Amino acid sequence: MASAIGLRRLWLRLGWNDILQRYRRSVLGPLWLTVSMAIMIVSLGVVYAEIFQSPIDDFLPYLCLGFLVWGYFSGFLTDAGLLFVGSETYIKQIKLPYFLYVCRATWSKVIIFAHNFVIYLGVIAYFHIWPGLNGLLAVPGFLLLTINGALITLFIGMVSARFRDIPQVIGSFVQILFFITPIMWKSDQLKNRTFIADWNPFYHLVEIVRAPLLGDAPSASTYVVVGTITLINLVVVGLFFRRFRERISYWV
């Protein structure tokens, strides 16, 4: 990991280049993602606020942050399958730390999230919302979310290099998770079945960033769940990587 961080100029450039290549010869470039997401958030916010009989100034910021944070984290899951397979040329020709590819993928997602974060700024400006000092808690929350995303990317990337069907399985899994995670709905709407959200680890991963940006401090249970998930990921992914790292070049 230390050697990969030392090569930060390389993966910073590669991550940025990945985005440039995806939107090559496009007028707005990555901002197309921001425009399309903004339209979707506003459209769904207006409709679902009416369906749930919720004030628009309360529901739309909630929905906006839910989409932004979920889109950021789910991107780690859906794109992880190509982490090593998509870098086959580099792996077979140049000896680079494997964690460098994780940093590259993570950096490109941070850039996209930064672009989309403009939507949140527009929403809070329109509704005159200010998160206050609690908003600062989103910084460590985002860091924990990113660490978990990077670790999951490494794990799925290795497994997908060995078993090429994994990305399709993950894609279907993410779609199901989206609907059972409080993104477009609130956990208190479950009434006496709030355990569905409380026992959903992805809810806590989203909430550790969303709650501070809405002006609320995340609950103690959210910090406990996310802290536990981070510890488990560090141990499991670390042992898995140590055991199979030498086989990656043969699997891709």
pLDDT tens readout for residues 126-159 = 998 899 899 999 999 999 999 999 999 999 999 9
Burial bucket for residue 220 (CB in 10 Å: 0-12, 13-18, 19+): exposed
pLDDT at 187: 80
pLDDT at 24: 65
159/179 Cα distance (integer angstroms)? 25
pLDDT at 11: 73
Neighbours of 102 (CB within 10 A): 25
The domain segmentation of the chain, as residue ranges, is 2-251
Contact status, residue 7 vs residue 22, Cβ threshold 8 Å: no
pLDDT tens readout for residues 39-63 = 999 998 888 888 888 889 889 999 9
pLDDT at 206: 95
**Confidence label for 228 from pLDDT (cuts 50, 70 and 90):** very high
Contact status, residue 35 vs residue 28, Cβ threshold 8 Å: yes
23/144 Cα distance (integer angstroms)? 29
pLDDT tens readout for residues 55-113 = 898 899 999 999 999 999 999 999 888 888 888 888 888 888 888 889 989 999 999 89
